[in-house]
Structure 1
Amino acid sequence: MTINLSTANEFIARHIGPRQADEQAMLATLGFDSLEGLSASVIPQSIKGTSVLDLPDGQSEADALASIKAIAAKNQLCKTYIGQGYYNCHTPSPILRNLLENPAWYTAYTPYQPEISQGRLESLLNFQTLISDLTGLPISNASLLDEATAAAEAMTFCKRLSKNKSSHSFFASSHCHPQTLDVLRTRAEPLGIKVVVADERELTDVSPFFGALLQYPASNGDVFDYRELVERFHSANALVAVAADLLALTLLTPPGEFGADVAIGSAQRFGVPLGFGGPHAAYFATRDTFKRDMPGRLVGVSVDRHGKPALRLAMQTREQHIRREKATSNICTAQVLLANIASMYAVYHGPKGLIQIAQRIHQLTAILAQGLSALGLTVEQEQFFDTLTLNTGNNTAALHTKAHARQINLRVIDGQRLGLSLDETSGQSDVIALWALLAADGQALPDFEALASTVTSTLPPALQRQSPILSHPVFNRYHSETELMRYLRRLADKDLALDRTMIPLGSCTMKLNAASEMIPVTWAEFGNLHPFAPAEQSLGYQQLTTELEAMLCAATGYDAISLQPNAGSQGEYAGLLAIRAYHHSRGDERRDICLIPSSAHGTNPATANMAGMRVVVTACDARGNVDIEDLRAKAIEHSDHLAALMITYPSTHGVFEEGIREICGIIHDNGGQVYIDGANMNAMVGLCAPGKFGGDVSHLNLHKTFCIPHGGGGPGVGPIGVKSHLTPFLPGHAAMERKEGAVCAAPFGSASILPITWMYIRMMGGEGLKRASQLAILNANYIARRLEEHYPVLYSGSNGLVAHECILDLRPLKESSGISVDDVAKRLIDFGFHAPTMSFPVAGTLMIEPTESESKEELDRFCQAMICIREEIREVESGGLDKEDNPLKNAPHTAAEMIGEWTHPYSREQAVYPVASLIEGKYWPPVGRVDNVFGDRNLICACPSIESYQEA
């Protein structure tokens, strides 16, 4: 007997849901005998043969893990004191195991359906409370992307709200982190904002500015008293934003107490690994007066239909979909998973623990500074928290060389000075090692114990915090591992994530995040590297990113990739900036019109506005395709000013438009560039390539097509692919060859989760990726076919097929029965399902995307639920169920409701066990349907007291 001794690649079959027999049965339902035949009918003739997926065969899980382990080993882990907004910290093990590595948390979707998201909403409410308490400002959002982009959001926030309407100048302190200043400049230029960087201590006239950004403590370590300066800015009708270190705020007067209008910053050092720059949760806090203008998501407290407190996303949750090109921000993905880690870090340590950590760091820094002074070194700061700047003169370069030889990284400031920051992981031995490094040869080192017994706080007495922090019970209870473990389990049990059920969200591609892909994320070799560490220490990351860029080029047909954008929204922005810079390089500054189809995702017009472009909307035809003649007319009308077209492909309506090549040709003929939104790339990999059928630039959602998990609303990664003529205009960074044009704080954005996509592509290989696209199309068409006799499929291609998602039209049901799309979505919860995408891109519809990862059994279970719901609607239509008091209008039903008085005309069994399969594995929503209007009218967005609940 001959045995195949090569390692089997089992991964493709484990990633893809349907088995071979299921696949054949589904194909037969559609009238096809092969995947190739189905693909040939779905992909338009004009773009067939454009795929260039030149990738090797997939590796087994074990082999791929061994390969990436060898890459990780090339990263060198040194003692790092660089600081500059990034700090080593300890991720408490119960948070690592029960949250970061737990699919109940990392596979969850953004909590737009609040009834099945109460656990992560509570954790985010804790985060908002943490931020509000520490900053002294009453309103905080549920996270942004990173500190630098949060600062940019603060700048445009100040521009909108400042009473100094004639000003276009924004002041930024030279003591801000350099990467923050770089992103500010990038974001300001298209909007006509002038960023003035200077030392605020030398600022005599504040009247020219609509706003200001200050760093607290300063990037170089100083702790400045900004009270008088803030008053001066306010007297000139300018608003003030303060970038503040959260850990320092446990000891320092919060920005809200010295007059700041906005506080922004990073929550990274609250338990989130360095990760070569990300992902890390940023925060944004402001005054109650400004709450409706705050970017990002806000968790608020409302009530459900029983009057029980319930959480939900409040107010302007998706304002870019409502205001479109008038939106003030294009933020869609945030950093929820990381915000939850920071939230639980505060819950676990509590106020005493956090203060103790901060005091210890500060005490060590004070001892270090005293010892350095005793050694004859010049420490520039007299008042500091954890960071020092040393004037080392002509000896600076030699000291850096000496430090690297001892595997120590210090901060490079300039040729005459170096900096260092201590953190939670620093100890006595580190202080002594730094003294030994910086002392002259033969010089005796200070006595640590002696200094420790005498040194006192160097924080300014007038700025030492007096107000209490984190007094809410949630921060004062879960301090044992047992309690925290159970709290995290209790929250997770309230939610629906991919570990429980299919999440059939159209356009959001909720697919398997395989364990083998996730494992490398928490390896120290990837997690403990500072983004500004010397290049020779990040050879593993350099290999990983180079290989990943090549893989993504192969998948898309583009010539170059930038991995820097740390969200899909930022990828859109970087793509339009590249187009804008290209036109400007050719002397075409007048090109500022961006054509966008009416069906586009709301972030598209918002992004175009942020990139300084004017939006012109083009029509769609009755089948959901771009109206090519309307597009042609508008392209010709604006040909002298046409900058770009933003188009999603396959379309937002879930079909492959036949005329995509013609559309691209029209734009190119009129001098524009084509931006193809890659949100729906999961239907194209291995079948067609946007870079080969007319696209000039695309962003890719690695948290969709390429398996990075959604994390309850983030992290995301949105790299862009470009054709060669746009390559010079990819995002730059001070740490890269091209220094200008940074769109986020770190050169490779959310670098530590890039191994997920590397692993996915390496294990799938070219054939596996193509098969995934084909199965995504098969699964979507199977659902469409099974449900079409119950719900009309709104759009399909010329052959009656859809792409990777389908839109069900529920609008006729509203007319015939009074049942709304909301009622169907909430009723699905009773069946244990997350709802599909509601009312996008067409109001009153459900957009369903099953992905390739779901089995036929799960697809059938979902279809059965939808068919049962349609039968209930028929009963409403016929009068068998009351038009107002029926299972759909009252959904979802809670367990508490079952044991109370039952007054409904339908049975309890119909309410909660509409199909027999639910008896074994019932999901019970913790709250009933949430009252959205009540929550906005009675906004509470921090952990409320019992009294607040009672008043509500």
Structure 2
Amino acid sequence: MTRTSLTQLEARDSFIPRHIGPSESEQAAMLSTLGYATREALIDAVVPANIRRKDTLDLGQFVEPRTEEEALATLKALAAKNKVMKSMIGQGYYGTHTPKVILRNIFENPAWYTAYTPYQPEISQGRLEAILNFQQMITDMTGMGIANSSMLDEGTAAAEAMTLLQRVGKSSSKVFYVADDVLPQTLEVVQTRAQPIGVEVRVIAAAEIEKLEESCFGVLLQYPGVNGEVRDYRAAVEHLHAAGAMVVVAADLLALSLLEAPGAWGADVVVGNSQRFGVPLGFGGPHAGYLATRDEYKRSMAGRLVGVTVDAQGNQAYRLALQTREQHIRREKATSNICTAQVLLAVMAGMYAVYHGPDGLKRIAQRVHRQTAILARGLQQLGAEVLNTTYFDTLTVKGDAGALHAAAADAGINLRRIDDGHVGVSLDETTTREDLAALFGVFGKGKTVDIDAIDEDVADAYPAALARSSDFLTHPTFHRYHAEHEMLRYLRSLADKDLALDRTMIPLGSCTMKLNATSEMIPVTWPEFSSVHPFAPNDQTVGYREMIDQLEAMLCAATGYAAISLQPNAGSQGEYAGLLVIQKYHESRGEGHRNICLIPSSAHGTNPASASMVGMKVVVTACDENGNVDLADLKAKAEQYSRDLACVMVTYPSTHGVFEEGIKELCEIVHQHGGQVYVDGANMNAMVGVAAPGAFGGDVSHLNLHKTFCIPHGGGGPGVGPIGVGAHLAPFLPNQLSTGYVRNEAGIGAVSAAPFGSASILPISWMYIAMMGAEGLTAATEVAILNANYIARRLAPHYPVLYTGHDGLVAHECIIDLRPLQDKTGISNEDVAKRLMDFGFHAPTMSFPVPGTLMIEPTESEAKAELDRFIEAMITIHAEIVKVERGEYDKMDNPLKGAPHTADVVTADDWQHTYSREVAAFPVASLRKKKYWPPVGRADNVYGDRNLFCGCAPISDYE
């Protein structure tokens, strides 16, 4: 018997083969198909020699992979360095109870967190309904006509609202006023967004808005204000409207259970954060911001919008409405680059409202308000000076701030730091009688008050004229699922309608839908990470900051950059921040006039949108017939605009899925003319360990942690879009001066509402890198490239592979061309996408970057059996297309045009198709054992856009 050493036995505990799908023997078989003996030989053929990385990733203490248990133990030790206090800081972030049925069945459920953006509506009906609940909740609570499917946070929502007012308003003014009691972090994000587009942000005392005489196009109000005051703005809004200005209100959703909706007193846009509806604090995110506006502005609203349409059989179906607006963002005419949302968190917040219903929300709000009123009266009895005349949940108290903070900390409580003479106290759903007693001890130096005695006669402390009179959450969905059993079944029924990674491969090009390992997800719910306020004192967040520092170092090693900022909380925000950093760098050198951004014609729409948002002028450069950047054209334009060249934005590997040979030359050309090179990191999954943008000429890149580094897509968010920069750009990375986060005084202003963006999901990427180590990260890239080339080679006899490099090879994704087949048969890439649903697959990326094509990215996590299952489906579909070409299937009545086929359609007594039910439902034999049934037939996009309806189904549907 062969003896196995301890070292060999220990190696069997490695996470690497858990993450990488194909076994060594499967990899050998795929390599044989491609004609290569080893993975290294394949990578040498795919990656240009002049950028090929040969060194081991310098991951420091994490260079060697750790087992799942070792990594969890190491991270747990870091988490233990955080102090979890009762945070009464407020400022837009509050303690909340996540209903356990939501925690277990959404937040911790891969059916929800591994789903992709619902661009294919027929296989996304569950999460689309859940998002529709969120939209309905927001429109009801705010009293507005329409709400989108979520924003990145409250600060960026306010910034988007500002630009929305510019688009739809009639004022020619460039001035935007912000009330002085708006959340400080919101003001800073608005200022960051305003400066490059020439908007002047002015701060005005909230009490003076009613007397404002200066011309402006809009005003931002906070309701209630950061210091707690609840102001009656009705007269002020009338005054502003009469002067031609429009009004944005940042509103607290829980307060709106008791306070009149802003839509009822004239708001044009309402924004805010849904965090306190059951989403943990998480050191600042991710949380679902929201934006609601008047119905007439819906076609100008940024972000995603879920709407109602009908399917091919006339049944109600949900879909992303007006989705071309988002997928093909207004490029160089853009005022927004948002191309993601916070779906998972919006679903949680919406379900919080479903579970509690309007009466439950009112009860929670009344309890919080009553506790606040008791606190105010008790503090007055103790001799403290409460400055508020009105409030909902927040008080501002005069006193020795240093002594009060120290006493509160001794009691395990954080208060808001205002200045030396004042502190803030915000209560929330988690506040108890014991907390009130502790607060009285803090302010009364050990004295007590009689809570029950105060409770007997204390009154509401917001203006009676602002007491809510309008109904909200009247739809049956918000009244049916208050019993946990009913809620559990509702959530399960929605999840069952969807295809996510827990069921099948999602072969989307450029979107990298890979394993989100359970061990990576576990730390997200640890209270040491989930229950920390983003503005907690530094001595309470030592573990968080160490973890963040380590993750930044890991990402620097992977990218070749000198520094990383984790603040941008989406890829679009990373692009935006990266360009602001470039701009700041040029200004520091006395070259602030540089404003030309070169962008290849193949670029994603967010690239020119981001450039436009920072005030740059986009100049498009050509691509050659092979999809590569035309270096001759780029060189000519770099020379033409040499004096004013700010940067180039290029995706690498290319948008077409190829390692372009000329990337170093491209970088050299731009640098010769004083420009900077922005390398879009969307395709970083093809580079980790084999090439580094910071080494081959990149100056700045954003990374999609929700792609390459395993943070789940969550049905269309959360995402994280940090930026890596060269040493010369490092001083200009984002700060958040308003909350005391100063990375470097030369840095740009805040681009998100929290200093570290969506901090609570960063442990996912930390865990991934720690468990993979240098060897595993490199192997993941190599297998991603192997899997993509295996699919391309197997499908090439049936579908032309549009762009390839040396030896017909691709990078980590391939584009197959359906246009020749469509010309012959009328079968489109959309027909193939819908037919794949009958096989139990999510479609590849449709029509990007080339119309009429499908872009396929299998990732390294898919085993050969799953790749072969997908290949079999695609070959079978090709055979069906050939039958259409030969006339064996009718051009309009065939399995592709009829797809997807629902169980209702296949089992109906009336079957009028010329193809059989068996072909419709079971095109391959394996489906008889494991079959996913799409819940609806093909959605009618045109009907949905012409009849835009973005709320829950009418009550009549439930009668």
Q: TM-score band (shorter)?
A: over 0.9
Q: For residues 253-402 of structure 1, what are the structure 2 equivalents within 5 Å?
A: 253-316=260-323, 318-319=325-326, 321-392=328-399, 395-402=400-407
Q: How does 1:549-948 map to 2 (within 5 A)?
A: 549-734=552-737, 735-737=740-742, 738=744, 741-900=749-908, 901-947=910-956
Residue in 2 that maps onto 1:180: 186
Given candidates 105, 113, 127, the residue that maps to 1:98 is: 105
Tell me: CA distance 1:43–1:859, structure 2 relative to 1, closer, same or farther (3 Å): same
Deviation per residue, 1:717-775 (Å, 9 max, x gap): 00000001000110111232246511001010000000000000000000100000000
Of all paired residues, the percent bearing the same amino acid is 65
Deviation at 1:50, TM superposition (A): 6.8
Q: Deviations over 1:256-295 (max 9, x none)?
A: 0000000000000000000000000000000011000111
Gaps of 5+ in 2: none
**CA drift at 1:2:** 6.6
Q: 1:434 aligns with which of 435, 439, 457?
A: 439
Residues 660-690 of structure 1: per-residue CA shift (max 9 Å, x gap): 0000000000010000000000000000100
Structure 1: distance between partners of 2:516 and 2:327: 28
CA, structure 1 residues 524+449, in 2 after alignment: closer, same or farther (shift >3 Å)? same
Distance 2:350 2:208 in 1: 38
Distance in 1 of aligned mates of 2:324 and 2:345: 19
Measured in 2, the distance between the counterparts of 1:830 and 1:800 equals 31
How much has 1:206 moved relative to structure 2?
Answer: 3.9
Assess, with a 3 A threshold, how the Cα gap between structure 1 residues 69 and 743 changes in structure 2: closer, same or farther.
Answer: same
Q: Deviations over 1:64-113 (max 9, x none)?
A: 01111111111101111000000000001010000000000000000000
Aligned twin of 2:204: 198
Structure 2 residue corresponding to 1:548, chosen from 520, 545, 551:
551
Q: Which residue matches 1:414?
A: 419
User: In structure 2, which of residues 451, 461, 471 is the aligned counterpart of residue 448 of structure 1?
Assistant: 451
TM-superposed CA distance for 1:198, in Å, is 1.5
CA distance, structure 2, for counterparts of residue 260 and residue 320 of structure 1: 29
Equivalent AA in structure 1 for residue 633 of structure 2: D
Cα-to-partner distance string for 1:332-386 (whole Å, 9 max, x where unaligned): 1210000000011011111111110000000000000000011111111121100
Pair 1:528-2:520 in alignment: no
AA aligned opposite 1:415? D
Aligned amino acid, residue 615 of structure 1: V
Q: Aligned letter for 1:16?
A: I
- In structure 2, the residue matched to 1:125 is 132
CA distance in 1, matches of 2:677, 2:50: 17
Residue in 2 that maps onto 1:38: 42
| Other structure's SS at 1:551 match | helix
Mapped to 2, the partners of 1:138 and 1:904 lie a distance apart of 42
Q: Deviations over 1:539-560 (max 9, x none)?
A: 1101100000000000000000
Let me know the Cα RMSD of the aligned residues.
Answer: 1.2
Question: What's the CA shift for 1:239?
Answer: 1.1
Mapped to 1, the partners of 2:163 and 2:454 lie a distance apart of: 47
1:181-260, aligned counterparts within 5 Å? 181-203=187-209, 204-260=211-267
Answer whether contact 2:304 2:326 (CA < 8 A) is retained: no
- Alignment-mate amino acid for residue 382 of structure 2: L
Structure 1: distance between partners of 2:176 and 2:783: 51
| Long gaps (5+) in structure 1 | none
Aligned residues of 1:35 and 1:774 also touching (Cα < 8 A): yes
Question: Match for 2:298: what amino acid?
Answer: K
Secondary structure of the 1:403 match is: helix
Q: Secondary structure at the match of 2:896?
A: coil
Q: Residue 206 of structure 1 contacts residue 232 of structure 1 at CA under 8 Å; is this kept in 2?
A: no
CA–CA separation in structure 1 for the residues paired with 2:827 and 2:373: 66
**Matched position secondary structure for 2:50:** helix
Secondary structure, counterpart of 1:83 in structure 2: coil
| Cα separation, partners in 2 of 1:221 and 1:946, compared to 1, 3 Å | closer
Superposition TM-score, scaled by structure 1 size: 0.98
Shift of 1:319: 3.2
Deviation at residue 52 of structure 1 after TM alignment: 5.9
Residue 24 of structure 1 corresponds to which residue in structure 2?
28
What residue in structure 1 maps to residue 6 of structure 2?
A: 4
Secondary structure, in 3 states, of the residue corresponding to 1:357?
Answer: helix
Kept in 1: contact 2:155–2:185 (CA 8 A): yes
**Secondary structure of the structure 1 residue equivalent to 2:808:** coil
Aligned to 1:15: 19
Q: Distance in 1 between matches of 2:513 and 2:624?
A: 29
Taking the aligned partners of 1:80 and 1:200, their CA distance within structure 2 comes to: 26
**Correspondent of 1:487 among 469, 487, 490:** 490
In 1, are the aligned partners of 2:127 and 2:495 still within 8 Å (CA)? yes
Q: Deviations over 1:795-840 (max 9, x none)?
A: 0013310000000000111110000111000000000000000000
SS at structure 2 position matched to 1:570: helix
Q: Which residue does 2:505 correspond to in 1?
A: 502
The residue matched to 2:345 in structure 1 has which SS? helix
Letter in 2 for 1:814: Q
Does the CA contact (< 8 Å) of 2:283 and 2:530 recur in 1? yes
1:617 deviates by: 0.4
**Quick check: 1:423 aligned with 2:432?**
no
Q: Matches of 2:871 and 2:807 in 1, distance apart? A: 23
- Aligned-partner SS, 1:344: helix
CA distance 1:51–1:224, change in 2 (3 Å): farther
Count of residue pairs brought into register by the alignment:
945
Rounded to whole Å, the distance in 1 between the matches of 2:741 and 2:150 is 27
SS in 1 for 2:642: coil
Q: What are the superposed Cα offsets for residues 553-599 of structure 1, whole Å, 9 maximum, x if unpaired?
A: 00000000001000000111110000000001111111001000000
1:819 and 1:946 map into 2 onto residues whose CA distance is 39
Match of 2:90 among 76, 83, 87: 83
- Could you tell which deviates more after superposition, 572-581 or 200-209? 200-209
Alpha-carbon deviation of 1:944? 2.5
Matches within 5 A, 1:106-125: 106-125=113-132
Counterparts of 1:830 and 1:684, CA distance in 2: 34
Checking the alignment, whether the CA contact within 8 Å between 1:644 and 1:674 is kept in structure 2 is yes
Stretch of structure 1 that moved more, 193-202 or 823-832: 193-202
After TM superposition, the structure 1 stretch with the greater mean CA deviation from structure 2, 451-460 or 627-636, is 451-460
